[in-house]
């Protein structure tokens, strides 16, 4: 409570005490009713407030943990499958053969970002800086995925050196952001 509220509460108590000392006080039932209503209201409000606050905090922690865990898993999978190395290999090949087109196809399941997709409507519960980084990570990864999945122009027609250099930059940015998120530096 603030100092002003404490002073007002003390004055209220003094007024109530002075009213209680008078035997013929007709205001006593009114004061008792108001005091009872006030205490009843406070005793109902406070537990509800604290329970909702705890529920909100636990939901935020659960969503944050799920999203950062998915990013960590995606980074490990990208490292294990050496996706960045494949893109760099394409760039090196095209530097030596500038007239050629390079076809790189990666099969990426539609559900690779299942946790992100299922929690995007509640991303506002995550701290704003972290939420922004999570969204940027997934947008960058989606950009790369759209260029290397079967049916994409890069996969069907082949890509030139500029296309693959751009994909390398985008994937490097996504990996950098993902590592920042996974290490808790956001």
> What span, in angstroms and rounded, lies between the C-alpha atoms of 44 and 160?
67
Helices 28-81 and 3-21, packing angle to 10 deg? 150
Instruction: Give me the half-sphere count of Cα atoms (radius 13 Å) on the Cβ side of residue 102.
Output: 23
Give the residue with greater pLDDT, 133 vs 23: 133
**Polymer length in residues for the chain:** 186
Instruction: Give the pair of three-digit tokens for residue 46.
Output: 């406070």
The reported pTM is 0.73
Residue 1's pLDDT band, with cuts at 50, 70 and 90, is low
pLDDT digit string (tens) for 74-128? 999 999 999 999 999 999 999 999 898 888 877 888 888 999 999 999 999 999 9
> What span, in angstroms and rounded, lies between the C-alpha atoms of 9 and 31?
14
Residue 25's pLDDT band, with cuts at 50, 70 and 90, is low
Within 8 A by CB and 6+ apart from 50, the residues are none
Within 8 A by CB and 6+ apart from 106, the residues are 83, 86, 145, 148, 149
């Amino acid at each position: 409570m603030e100092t002003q509220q404490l002073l007002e509460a003390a004055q209220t108590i003094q007024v109530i005490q002075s009213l209680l000392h008078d035997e013929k006080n007709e205001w006593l039932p009114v004061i008792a009713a108001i005091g009872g209503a006030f205490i009843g209201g406070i005793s109902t409000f406070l537990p509800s407030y604290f329970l909702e606050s705890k529920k909100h905090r636990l939901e935020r922690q659960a969503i944050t943990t799920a999203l950062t865990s998915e990013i960590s898993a995606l980074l490990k999978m990208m490292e294990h499958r050496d996706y960045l190395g494949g893109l760099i290999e394409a760039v090196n090949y095209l530097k030596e053969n500038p007239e050629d087109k390079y076809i790189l196809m990666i099969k990426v399941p539609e559900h690779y970002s299942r946790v992100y997709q299922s929690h995007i409507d509640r991303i506002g519960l995550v701290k704003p800086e972290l939420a922004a980084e999570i969204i940027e990570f997934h947008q960058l990864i989606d950009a790369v995925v759209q260029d290397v999945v079967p049916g994409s122009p890069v996969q069907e027609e082949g890509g030139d050196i500029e296309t693959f250099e751009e994909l390398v930059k985008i994937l490097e940015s996504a990996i950098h952001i993902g590592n920042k998120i996974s290490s808790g530096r956001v």
